[in-house]
A = this chain, B = another copy of it.
Amino acid sequence: MPTILGQNQYGKAENRVVKITRDGDTHHIKDLNVSVALSGDLDDVHLTGSNANCLPTDTTKNTCFAFAKEHGIESAEAYGIALARHFVDSQPSIHRARIRIEEYSWERIAGSDAGSNFIGADEVKHSFVRKGQETRLAQITYSAEGAEGAKFEVLSGLKDLTVMNTTNSEFWGFIKDKYTTLQEDYDRILATSLSTWWRHSWTGETEEGGARPPQWNKSYEQAKKHILQAFVETYSLSLQQTLFQMGSRVINNRSEIDEIRFSAPNKHHFRQDLSAFGLENEAKDGAVYWAADRPYGLIEATILRDGAEQRIPVDMTNL
């Protein structure tokens, strides 16, 4: 047969694992969407249909739920590390496991929305509203191959974090070719829905032979804050510039992060031309804009710690 099998992986995708923790009357929620992808000695499954080396995807699903009970979910990253290690270490035919996780956040109802003449926030023990903002992401890859102790790769990230600067954004001085009709703009809206992954330098499971693992939840919160803060503080001449500022701020402030990649659609807000109706519509006066759907500028970039290896795939953040 003149054809050969290349890269392959399989597993159960989108396991919707929800774990409630009860701390007396006070409850906590972890709400995850977990996808498992396994690789290894799987030629026979493809070539002959023999499943002797195949752990069923249904079993990977069961394991996701059982691990949530047995080990809890301290963070998406810690939970994913435990799962990935389990599949590789317990099955001789599985050499590599990749766990991808989306996490949805919830907040206590009274804390955010109910207000002062309602029940107090400290009395709300088990009532939540989905926060609805960004989705937190994690990807943990664990490989049995390789001679050294560096076996893990942990990416964290987020998507659907939609931000807008209503001023302090310009776009001018660009190339004009035969097909250019765009006018220069000295006061435009800059809005985007961020999708981003960042890579932790930590690659070893334990402190022996490697650094202590990051505090995953704190690291996430800080990375997100630096991204937002850079968005606030950057006077932007291009969305590319804003992305680079975001990435640099994360790399410079978070020593545990070596690489970050952004995919940022430019969510165009076009100033509506109202001159036919005798109306001025200048940005400086507060203007009316049309929020367009398609097409959109799409800006993608990786920012790295000097000397770090570029490892986040280009297609991981494509829209």
CA distance A270 to B110 in the complex (A): 26
Contact-residue bracket for chain A? 35 or more
Can you list, as one digit per residue, whether each of A155-169 has a CB less than 8 Å from chain B (1) or not (0)?
000001111111110
Residues A128 and B163 in contact in the complex (CB < 8 Å), given A119-B232, A172-B51, A303-B5: yes
Interface residue A13 (Cβ < 8 Å from any Cβ of B):
yes
Residues A20 and B286 in contact in the complex (CB < 8 Å), given A237-B49, A310-B6: yes
7 pairs of A and B residues whose beta carbons are closest in the complex: A49-B237, A6-B302, A132-B132, A57-B297, A8-B301, A130-B162, A16-B291
Residues of B within 8 A of A316 (CB): 315
Residues of B within 8 A of A31 (CB): 291
Asked if A287 and B20 make an inter-chain contact with CB atoms under 8 angstroms apart, the answer reads yes
CA distance A80 to B135 in the complex (A): 33
| A35, A45, A266: most-surrounded residue (chain B CB, <10 A) | A45
Residues of B within 8 A of A296 (CB): 12-14
CA distance A13 to B296 in the complex (A): 5
Q: Residue of B at shortest CB range from A49?
A: B237
Main DSSP-derived SS at the A contact region: mixed
Asked if A2 and B251 make an inter-chain contact with CB atoms under 8 angstroms apart, the answer reads yes
Can you list, as one digit per residue, whether each of A305-319 has a CB less than 8 Å from chain B (1) or not (0)?
110001001111001
Tell me, rounded to whole Å, the shortest Cβ–Cβ distance linking A22 to chain B: 4
Interface residue A228 (Cβ < 8 Å from any Cβ of B):
yes
Can you list, as one digit per residue, whether each of A1-40 has a CB less than 8 Å from chain B (1) or not (0)?
1111111111111111111111000010101000101000
Interface residue A211 (Cβ < 8 Å from any Cβ of B):
no
Asked if B7 and A302 make an inter-chain contact with CB atoms under 8 angstroms apart, the answer reads yes
Tell me, rounded to whole Å, the shortest Cβ–Cβ distance linking A75 to chain B: 16
Tell me, rounded to whole Å, the shortest Cβ–Cβ distance linking A268 to chain B: 9
Interface residue A93 (Cβ < 8 Å from any Cβ of B):
yes
Stretch with Cβ within 8 A of B (4 or more), from A65-73, A145-153, A201-209: A65-73
Interface residue A272 (Cβ < 8 Å from any Cβ of B):
yes
Tell me, rounded to whole Å, the shortest Cβ–Cβ distance linking A102 to chain B: 12
Can you list, as one digit per residue, whether each of A88-111 has a CB less than 8 Å from chain B (1) or not (0)?
001101000000000000100110
